[in-house]
Structure 1
């Protein structure tokens, strides 16, 4: 099997593609992969570091307002289609898959015009502009939320509910003493708080406001600030942390799935990859959606879980030290409530998501 993948802009578009590649190579080591992205995007570093063959095209997204740069975008789109066709003809893939971000548009469009089977993978409950544009051209559409099916109502015959391949990658995470790496006690009730790789200012602010009370709780707290905020927050938190062994503040968590498997509760944003991991592991969560993302899709993602009892949501405008600690206490001090939420999350999890997507690939390439 030869496969081209394209996705970029955010880790949420890149990591599902890498999880799919990993699973395909596990099942068939002879699988050949080419990843097409941009040099400016995160994918250029992440994909190359993963040892995957990478080629780049030049493309940019449209501005929402009238702008002269949109004329350049159109010109780049046309030339990137031509380059994509050249790369596709050279590689001769069996299938081409787009996992989101504007870089997918010329790649998937070019593949469809070359009559090569194509799939777009939508991770969020609200479809991105690129995937909406590509829906009419692709062979199949894979979604991770039931709500996303409505986003492609004009192409319902193409839509398949596969889930996020990242879910299958984390499901093997097991209990371990990893919390000791963060100066906490293994096998103790623990809540993990983080705002993504870059951190979230509002979560950092609420954490500082709650810190004087958090240090006296019956549970431990592992808090990831985001690297750019670490030094400033650590300095502000230092007076409260001197005599506390139950709170650990770190800039970044490298092996998040391993930590997920050893905590009782997660407080985080509601990006698609994070939710795929939480539901695959059946982990209770308090979600604080970012209101700054396209179409407010994180709120829709979070609502998909909360209406099924799989998570609790706090709007960013309502988040402060008081609401944070009240919400954490509600779950950390009530084991039965936590279990009910965990069970509901588990029901939404798709632990064989990568295999389901691979099956879809086989259907359109056999």
Structure 2
């Protein structure tokens, strides 16, 4: 039975990538999907081609009483626009992926009595998802342990994982790239969709401190901010380390495919892709992330032995060189770390999330007998 679904997400990669994966899966199942986001989201390159998109106003709850009042007015305007969309598009369910643009879309769904769900990508329930947790019909989580999730919501929680693009998921069937003791050692450096200045400052100098025989094997792909890229390129040239630099990596699945080691932030999509592909990593969580959620994101893969986490205050060239040597000088240990990262992946995340969404949007008479799945245990904090 073909139905309509609205996906609502803030315009950052962490929200948009899993929303795009779900949109693709629902389209494959014969449904129609509309995206509600902000201007950043509807312009996100390569994710929502062929999907109808809508920009809703959504203020941020910041700036004191005056800022809150302005945000409230914007959210009410966004809710009114969403209600108008729902009257013509007639969605069977509305699914929020976090971020302020999701809030008015969900408020409108509550007002129109449309089934709702939220998906939380991080290991800490985000602000918007916390605001609506009591009203939505289902809460899908990416981690078995999700902080800031109340026990009273236990009955509506499903641990599905964090959906990734099909091109990344396909890497699970490809072996970890062959690493010979004297062969090329490929390093991918990425700070998320906007890059990370701390990686640009530390990584070139850290790699330069490796033993000469190791340093000469390096081949680096580094995503950097536009304001940093010239200085980073000069640093690699000074250290005679072959490096390709870009402000955006549209071919991230292919970059992951050949990488022996990834140096990255610990955003939700980054962790999901590392564990889907099975790539070992050195993670540097963003300390200013709300509720320190990137540190929480990194715990599972680090505890499993698939990554090493370095707090930003401790992330120095010397520390990076030390960790690189521990990981990189033993090909067998690095391949073992790749397997441990892969074991943390949830390859069925998009399928399980789509199943949940279809159940929300279907009349009981349309559900096959036994379709409802037991809610998996989730740890609360």
Q: How high is the TM-score relative to the length of structure 2? A: 0.85
Task: Indicate the residue corresponding to 1:162 in structure 2.
Answer: 160
Consecutive unaligned residues in structure 2, runs of 5 or more: 178-182, 363-381
Task: Indicate the residue corresponding to 1:3 in structure 2.
Answer: 5
Measure, in 2, the Cα distance between the counterparts of 1:208 and 1:339.
24
Is the contact between residue 185 and residue 260 of structure 2 (CA under 8 Å) also seen in structure 1? yes
Aligned in 2, Cα 1:341/1:248: closer, same or farther, shift over 3 Å? same
Task: Indicate the residue corresponding to 1:111 in structure 2.
Answer: 109
Measure, in 1, the Cα distance between the counterparts of 2:25 and 2:320.
37
Measure, in 1, the Cα distance between the counterparts of 2:257 and 2:289.
28
Instruction: Choose 347-356 or 206-215, whichever is displaced more.
Output: 206-215
Task: Indicate the residue corresponding to 2:70 in structure 1.
Answer: 72
- CA drift of 1:166 comes to 1.1
Measure, in 1, the Cα distance between the counterparts of 2:174 and 2:340.
21
Does structure 1 residue 291 correspond to structure 2 residue 287?
A: yes
Measure, in 2, the Cα distance between the counterparts of 1:310 and 1:120.
28
- CA drift of 1:206 comes to 0.9
Instruction: Choose 334-343 or 6-15, whichever is displaced more.
Output: 334-343
- CA drift of 1:315 comes to 0.5
- CA drift of 1:216 comes to 4.5
Aligned in 2, Cα 1:70/1:296: closer, same or farther, shift over 3 Å? same
Task: Indicate the residue corresponding to 2:53 in structure 1.
Answer: 54
Task: Indicate the residue corresponding to 2:34 in structure 1.
Answer: 34
Measure, in 2, the Cα distance between the counterparts of 1:248 and 1:46.
23
Is the contact between residue 168 and residue 350 of structure 1 (CA under 8 Å) also seen in structure 2? no
Aligned in 2, Cα 1:253/1:77: closer, same or farther, shift over 3 Å? closer
Does structure 1 residue 213 correspond to structure 2 residue 215?
A: no
Measure, in 2, the Cα distance between the counterparts of 1:119 and 1:204.
38
Q: 1:17 aligns with which of 19, 22, 28?
A: 19
- CA drift of 1:175 comes to 5.8
Task: Indicate the residue corresponding to 2:371 in structure 1.
Answer: none
Task: Indicate the residue corresponding to 1:239 in structure 2.
Answer: 238
- What SS class does the counterpart of residue 362 from structure 1 fall into? helix
Aligned in 2, Cα 1:250/1:150: closer, same or farther, shift over 3 Å? closer
- CA drift of 1:353 comes to 0.9
Instruction: Choose 311-320 or 191-200, whichever is displaced more.
Output: 191-200
Offset from partner CA, 1:154-197 (integer Å, 9 cap, x none): 21111001111216551113769x9xxxxxxxx84322122223
Q: 1:254 aligns with which of 250, 263, 274?
A: 250
Q: 1:193 aligns with which of 189, 203, 208?
A: 189
Task: Indicate the residue corresponding to 2:367 in structure 1.
Answer: none
- CA drift of 1:49 comes to 6.3
Offset from partner CA, 1:104-137 (integer Å, 9 cap, x none): 1111121122221111000000111100011111
Measure, in 1, the Cα distance between the counterparts of 2:106 and 2:165.
24
- What SS class does the counterpart of residue 206 from structure 1 fall into? helix
Q: How high is the TM-score relative to the length of structure 1? A: 0.88
Measure, in 2, the Cα distance between the counterparts of 1:46 and 1:333.
38
Task: Indicate the residue corresponding to 1:363 in structure 2.
Answer: 359
Task: Indicate the residue corresponding to 2:342 in structure 1.
Answer: 346
Measure, in 2, the Cα distance between the counterparts of 1:72 and 1:226.
31
**Greater fraction helix:** 1
Correspondences of 1:167-182 after superposition (within 5 Å) = 168-173=166-171
Task: Indicate the residue corresponding to 1:268 in structure 2.
Answer: 264
Is the contact between residue 226 and residue 251 of structure 1 (CA under 8 Å) also seen in structure 2? yes
Task: Indicate the residue corresponding to 1:140 in structure 2.
Answer: 138
Aligned in 2, Cα 1:280/1:3: closer, same or farther, shift over 3 Å? same
Measure, in 1, the Cα distance between the counterparts of 2:315 and 2:38.
36
Aligned in 2, Cα 1:126/1:49: closer, same or farther, shift over 3 Å? closer
Measure, in 2, the Cα distance between the counterparts of 1:322 and 1:311.
18
- CA drift of 1:27 comes to 3.2
Aligned in 2, Cα 1:197/1:106: closer, same or farther, shift over 3 Å? closer
| Aligned length, in residue pairs | 349
Task: Indicate the residue corresponding to 1:227 in structure 2.
Answer: 226
